[in-house]
Amino acid sequence: MSQALLQPALQADYSRLGPLAELMSDQHVTEVMVMGTRDIYVEVDGKILLTPISFTSDDELMSVIRYIVESVGRRVDNENPLCDARLADGSRVHVAIPPVAVDGPLLNIRKFVRGPLDMADLIRLGSCSESAFGFLKACVLARTNIVVSGGTGSGKTTLLNVLSGYVPDDERIVTIEDAAELQLRQRHVARLEARPGGPDGKAVTIRDLVTSSLRMRPDRLVVGEVRGPEALDMLQAMNTGHDGSMTTLHANKPRDVLARIETLVLMAGYDLPVRAIRAQITSAINVIVHLERLRDGSRKVVQISEVTGMEEDVITMQDVFRFIRTGLDAQGRVVGRFTAAGIRPRVLDQLEDRGLEIPREIAPLFHESVPSAQ
């Protein structure tokens, strides 16, 4: 396999990963999946491939697992058989060991791309169009609250990194993650990471960190992923002066995002009327960006929608951009085009209220509504 040049610190870190070091050094491998001592699979170009590499024993594999987990102050044992962690390069790690892993320890490493990608990179990769990214740039500058949704491995964190790059350098950002992997380029970033409970202390949850972050005078909150009762605290933060905040959420489509947030808020344990929850969601969330990993392994922004209000008890939305599939090419890659819905987004009004210009990437699409952008 081809070898990528590594910084000395990362080379040393990989050297402790045993047979995985070669796979982690290969720039084409994006994910490593260890199935006990039997098999090791990798993802390359969106395809899962079996490698000829394996661990010689459970003890060797557990030694690597403990090194990874303990390096970030966590532990894994019979009482705590599940653990999320990270490598020094930001790669995301998930571990499951017996008794929950029936056939031996399971280790999953989702490699982090070195050097944060930018809009030009994702346009070149076909993840989105220049005009759609221009709209997302406008959303960040207009301080709209954004939810990035999609399935596992669809590129949500990567897009969150790209969007955060448009946040002005003079703003204070607080990031909250279960396992720290965001790579914001700004200098004034306060990073918070959850931790599980154990002999050394009690658990610190994402919800605890969201509550704590509000005392840190953030201009914007960036929550790596909302998946529990912290959704209520996030909505309240968005509704109390922390506009321009961003988070990710697992969902199958933009409409499902709203239903899932509603469910997560109910998990907070408060007896809130559904209409009140939906009103909170409507006033807090402005834009939903939905990604998918397509059948050819590519990751694309397939829909960008605005939350526009409520009609009786139903939250209303309107599409701004969509990816329209038109078929497959000779190599089996998905072919399609990004199209604008043609409706003037409300975000542009917020941008004008702040005295900011419409990004050049979208000015031609709305030149009739905004003469000054011609």
Report the predicted TM-score, pTM, of the whole model to 2 decimal places: 0.82
Q: What is the pLDDT of residue 221?
A: 94
Instruction: Evaluate if residue 236 carries a pLDDT over 70.
Output: yes
Predicted local distance difference test score (pLDDT) of residue 10: 46
**Residue ranges of E strands in the chain:** 29-35, 39-44, 47-50, 82-86, 92-96, 106-110, 146-150, 173-177, 189-193, 220-223, 246-250, 287-293, 299-311, 314-328, 334-340
At residue 337, the 3 state secondary structure works out as: strand
User: Domains of the chain: which residue ranges?
Assistant: 8-110, 119-373
Q: Are 192 and 152 in contact (CB under 8 A)?
A: no
Predicted local confidence at residue 255, as pLDDT: 93
Average pLDDT, the chain: 88
Give the whole-angstrom CA distance, residue 273 versus residue 262. 11
**Per-residue model confidence (pLDDT) at position 223:** 93
If you average pLDDT over residues 49-67, what whole number do you get? 95
The pLDDT of residue 366:
74
Taking 90 as the threshold, does the pLDDT of residue 3 lie above it? Answer: no
304 beta partners: 289, 321
Q: What average pLDDT score do residues 53-78 get?
A: 92
Closest by Cα among 189, 225, 188 to 210 = 225
Q: What is the pLDDT of residues 84-107, one digit of tens each?
A: 888 888 788 999 999 999 999 999
Report pLDDT for 2: 39
Q: Does the structure show a pLDDT above 80 at 7? A: no
Is residue 251 very low, low, confident or very high in pLDDT (cuts 50, 70, 90)? very high
Say if residues 161 and 117 touch (Cβ distance below 8 Å).
yes
Token code pair at residue 175: 């990031």
Q: How far apart are CA 105 and CA 38, in angstroms?
A: 10
Supply the pLDDT for residue 181. Answer: 79
pLDDT in tens, 257-291: 999 999 999 998 888 999 999 999 999 999 999 99
CA gap 87, 69 in Å, rounded: 9
* 73 compared with 237, residue with greater pLDDT: 237
- Write down the pLDDT at residue 367: 59
pLDDT of residue 42: 95
Banded pLDDT at 15 (limits 50, 70, 90): confident
Determine the topology of domain 8-110 in CATH. Beta-Lactamase (3.30.450)
User: Is the predicted pLDDT of residue 19 greater than 90, yes or no?
Assistant: yes
| Predicted local confidence at residue 102, as pLDDT | 93
Residue 94 tokens read as 């998930």
Phi and psi, residue 303, nearest 5°: -160, 135
Nearest to 177, CA basis, from 162, 163, 156: 156
The yes or no reply on domain 119-373 and CATH 3.40.50.300 is yes
Q: What are 113-137's pLDDT values in tens digits?
A: 655 578 888 898 889 999 999 999 9
Helix (H, G, I), strand (E, B) or coil at 206: helix
**pLDDT in the model for residue 74:** 86
Tokens of 81: 């058989």
Does residue 174 register a pLDDT over 60? yes
142-161 core/surface letters (b: 16 or more CB in 10 A; e: else): bbbbbbbbbeebbbbbbbbb
What confidence score (pLDDT) does residue 46 get? 79
Q: Mean pLDDT, to the nearest integer, of 170-178?
A: 93
Q: Do residues 144 and 345 touch, judged by C-beta distance below 8 A?
A: no
Whether the Cβ atoms of residue 287 and residue 144 lie closer than 8 Å to each other: yes
Residue 8 above 80 pLDDT? no
Q: How confident is the model over 312-344, as pLDDT tens digits?
A: 899 999 999 999 999 888 888 888 999 998 888
Instruction: Check residue 14 and give its pLDDT.
Output: 83
